[in-house]
Amino acid sequence: MIFTVIIVLIVSLVLIGVIVNAMQQHKNKVETERRAEVSKQKAIIENTEAALKAADGIPFTQRFLFIMRRRVLIATKALQTVSDGTTNYTQQITSLEEELKTIDITKPAPPEDKFNLPQADKQVIQFIKGIKTLRALLRAEFKKGRLESRVFLAEDKLLERLQLRANVDTLIRRGEVALKNNQLGSARQCLEKAIGALSSQPNQDEYITSRKNQLQQQLSEIESNLKKVNSKDVAEKQESERNELDELFAEKKKW
């Protein structure tokens, strides 16, 4: 009888241990998932804020700004939901909601002719990276179903054009520097790349057409100058070889 009781007690303790262990594992799993979600939402907020900060000088629309600030708001609300209670995000949520109310999404984008590419190469690189990041964030919002197709396409098209202008203007600037240094071959390569970038665009609008015509004219001038330089080099080489031959076969003087 006593033995049976002992067995029952042991089995009961084992079962209790299994149950407690399972509950602890479940608790740990829930906490791990909660922390992962917190990290995810914080990353969304930080990446979006950093992208907007780095985008200083990029003439995007107020509607795009609204989309990005709303992205931060949604992530902050999600953060509040999964918070362990040690941090309250109510004030941040209220502030973001008030900010969204002040953004006029009907305001048109700044004119493209006011677009100014940074002067330093490092700034240009950051500028182009910033545009690429903004396009990636916009695409992420679209995939989550938060944007209509027409809105996504319109905003992405504006950013794509800014990226194109930045790439083309950078190549033109490098080509001008190469010309000043009399590096005609390098200048030609820069212009060819710029023309290629413009030609690859599906919608050949007035800006692209006029820019291409301008660059093709400059390219023709460079190629003409290269031919002149090459012809001159060939003539000088032939003259040098002729002088060597004349000297070689000239009648030797008798002393």
Tens digit of pLDDT for each residue in 164-185? 888 888 888 888 888 888 888 8
Q: Tell me, letter by letter, the H, E, C secondary structure of the chain.
A: CHHHHHHHHHHHHHHHHHHHHHHHHHHHHHHHHHHHHHHHHHHHHHHHHHHHHHCCCCCCCHHHHHHHHHHHHHHHHHHHHHCCCCCCCHHHHHHHHHHHHHCCCCCCCCCHHHCCCCCCHHHHHHHHHHHHHHHHHHHHHHHCCCCCHHHHHHHHHHHHHHHHHHHHHHHHHHHHHHHHCCCHHHHHHHHHHHHHHHHCCCCCCHHHHHHHHHHHHHHHHHHHHHHHHHHHHHHHHHHHHHHHHHHHHCCCCCC
Tens digit of pLDDT for each residue in 23-55? 777 777 777 787 888 889 999 999 999 888 877
Position 236 pLDDT exceeds 90: no
Average the pLDDT over 103-111 and give the result: 85
* Least confident residue range of 2-16, 166-180, 191-205, 213-227: 2-16
What whole-number percentage of the chain has pLDDT above 90?
27
CA–CA separation, 61 and 108 (whole Å): 6
pLDDT at 235: 42
Position 4 pLDDT exceeds 90: no
pLDDT at 247: 53
Position 198 pLDDT exceeds 70: yes
pLDDT band at 207 (very low <50, low <70, confident <90, very high): confident
158 C-beta neighbours (distance < 10 Å), count: 20
Tens digit of pLDDT for each residue in 59-105? 888 999 999 999 999 999 999 888 877 778 899 999 999 999 999 99
Position 192 pLDDT exceeds 60: yes
pLDDT band at 114 (very low <50, low <70, confident <90, very high): low
pLDDT at 101: 94
